[in-house]
Homo-oligomer: A and B are copies of this chain.
Amino acid sequence: MAVNSPKPVAADLKPVAGIEIGYAEAGIKKPNRKDVLVLKLAPTASVAGVFTLNRFCAAPVQIAKANLAAAGADAAIVALMINTGNANAGTGALGLALAQQSCAALAGLLGCDAAQILPFSTGVILEPLPLEKIVAGLPAAVANLTADNWYNAAEAIMTTDTQPKAGSRSVTIGGHAVTMTGISKGAGMIKPNMATMLGFLAFDAKVAQPVLDVLVQQVADLTFNCITIDGDTSTNDSFMLIATGAGTLEVNSVDAPEYAELKAAVTELSLFLAQAIVRDGEGATKFITVTVEGGKSVDECRKIAYSIGHSPLVKTAFFASDPNLGRILAAIGYAGVDDLDVDQLNLYLDDVWVAKNGGRNPDYKEEDGQRVMKHSEIAVRVTLARGDAAATIYTCDLSHDYVTINADYRS
């Protein structure tokens, strides 16, 4: 698609000491396609995650949350296991049992307890997990465990994604070298309160569990919780941070100066991975950044930004490169900010001042709007003039291909 970043290059993805990666082609949905992934952690690693708020939280998410909560010094998480092709959601008690059995199968191969495995699934909802295929595929995944498999990992978690999403960073924090690599996937069913279907980011610092728990929430709120494609929140969304502890940096407090630097670096890479999902949004031809400034609270700024980002009318106008910008005002107006004084509101499209004090800017010219709408990356900026809060979200347009992809997804 037009707005994708360049496809990642396998050689650019740096191994992270303390994590090994194996994959298999288990034939879950299609033959000859990587669909099972294992991330094996060093004993020094700590893991934290944020998960979907969907009440139809998938069976693997329920188990991952429970196992993560129960993990401790004497029973650390040993591996993460991901399958594509089946979400194991809306599957009731049977789904929980099948997810548990898949954990037990991997635990048997790795010599640990099933509770030390975190399972993740993505794919079709409401269909039984093909346990036998997963179990049959796991030995191959364990056999090819290596630190150098990040590109394969990014490919193994793809569903309707058109390209793998991955990135690496090397930073120095407090004199210590830190290497971090992350992958993400997802192209539909993307909304706030967990955005990507799946995101995994590992780095080789040692981070105390309570600190990592804070870090993952703070980073998610700045990155994966700021993207939307279609407003659908998946049953399986998960974003996981893995601190392998194999490097020399240690962070034991959120008040340590190293924490802020680590947070900045993890946020930057996470934002790259989150934006990669929007750029690869189902049918996307435009990448749109929506910033709302001058609000009374971040919450109201986000409400307005998401109202714009979710409006099918706004999204189809972007697809058509049609500066039908009144649709943006309409979306602002129904965002649910009940005391909004629209007479103070301004709307900008890149450098073009479209609406001034709630009405059409007298200096606005249709051809200026048209010029900006033709770009593949567009910034929408709204100023409310009622406070100091601001929020930014990232979204894409709504095209014929979105309908085609989602009408044909299972066929």
Q: Out of B191, B335, B357, which one reaches A334, CB within 8 Å?
A: B191
Q: A127-B360, A333-B55 are in contact. Are A326 and B89 (CB under 8 A)?
A: yes
Interface centre among A92, A331, A404, A410 (most CB of B within 10 A): A92
Q: A330 contacts B124, CB within 8 Å? A: no
Residue A233 at the chain B interface, CB threshold 8 Å: yes
Chain B min CB distance to A130 (Å)? 14
Residue A359 at the chain B interface, CB threshold 8 Å: yes
Q: Mark A314-336, 1 if CB is under 8 A from B, else 0.
A: 00110110101111011111110
Segment at the B interface, from A132-140, A214-222, A305-313: A305-313
Residue A363 at the chain B interface, CB threshold 8 Å: no
Q: B326 contacts A359, CB within 8 Å? A: no
A87–B324 alpha-carbon span in the complex (Å): 13
Q: A400-B400, A408-B320 are in contact. Are A340 and B230 (CB under 8 A)?
A: no
Q: A126 contacts B355, CB within 8 Å? A: yes
Q: A360 contacts B124, CB within 8 Å? A: no
Q: B325 contacts A126, CB within 8 Å? A: yes
Q: A340 contacts B124, CB within 8 Å? A: no
Q: A55-B337, A325-B126, A407-B320 are in contact. Are A189 and B330 (CB under 8 A)?
A: yes
Interface centre among A90, A316, A324 (most CB of B within 10 A): A90
Report the count of interface residues on A (CB-CB < 8 A).
71
Q: A406 contacts B334, CB within 8 Å? A: no
Residues in chain B near residue A333, CB distance under 8 A? 54-57, 233, 235
Residues in chain B near residue A311, CB distance under 8 A? 230-232
Residues in chain B near residue A310, CB distance under 8 A? 231
Question: Which residues of chain A in 183-208 are interfacial with respect to chain B, using CB atoms and an 8 Å cutoff?
Answer: 188-189, 191, 193
Q: A55-B333, A56-B330, A342-B56 are in contact. Are A403 and B403 (CB under 8 A)?
A: yes
Q: A322 contacts B360, CB within 8 Å? A: no
Q: B317 contacts A406, CB within 8 Å? A: yes
Residues in chain B near residue A316, CB distance under 8 A? 402-403, 406-407
Residue A94 at the chain B interface, CB threshold 8 Å: yes
Residue A116 at the chain B interface, CB threshold 8 Å: no
Q: A230-B313, A313-B230, A360-B128 are in contact. Are A90 and B407 (CB under 8 A)?
A: no
Q: A55-B337, A313-B188, A322-B410 are in contact. Are A232 and B403 (CB under 8 A)?
A: no
Residue A95 at the chain B interface, CB threshold 8 Å: yes
Q: A317 contacts B407, CB within 8 Å? A: yes
Q: Out of B91, B231, B232, B312, which one reaches A359, CB within 8 Å?
A: B91
Residues in chain B near residue A403, CB distance under 8 A? 316, 319, 398-400, 402-403
Q: Which residue of B lies closest to A234 (CB)?
A: B330
Q: A90 contacts B410, CB within 8 Å? A: no
A411–B322 alpha-carbon span in the complex (Å): 8
Chain B min CB distance to A152 (Å)? 28
Q: B320 contacts A55, CB within 8 Å? A: no
Residues in chain B near residue A124, CB distance under 8 A? 324, 326
Residues in chain B near residue A188, CB distance under 8 A? 313
A95–B358 alpha-carbon span in the complex (Å): 11
A314–B337 alpha-carbon span in the complex (Å): 27
Q: A324 contacts B409, CB within 8 Å? A: yes
Q: A127 contacts B326, CB within 8 Å? A: yes
Residue A73 at the chain B interface, CB threshold 8 Å: no
Q: A90-B355, A233-B334, A311-B232 are in contact. Are A126 and B400 (CB under 8 A)?
A: no
A332–B57 alpha-carbon span in the complex (Å): 11
Residue A125 at the chain B interface, CB threshold 8 Å: yes
Residues in chain B near residue A410, CB distance under 8 A? 322, 324
- Identify 17 new A-B residue pairs, CB closer than 8 A, beyond the known A232-B313, A319-B407: A55-B332, A56-B329, A56-B333, A89-B330, A90-B326, A91-B359, A124-B324, A125-B327, A189-B330, A232-B312, A232-B331, A232-B334, A233-B330, A235-B333, A312-B402, A320-B408, A324-B409
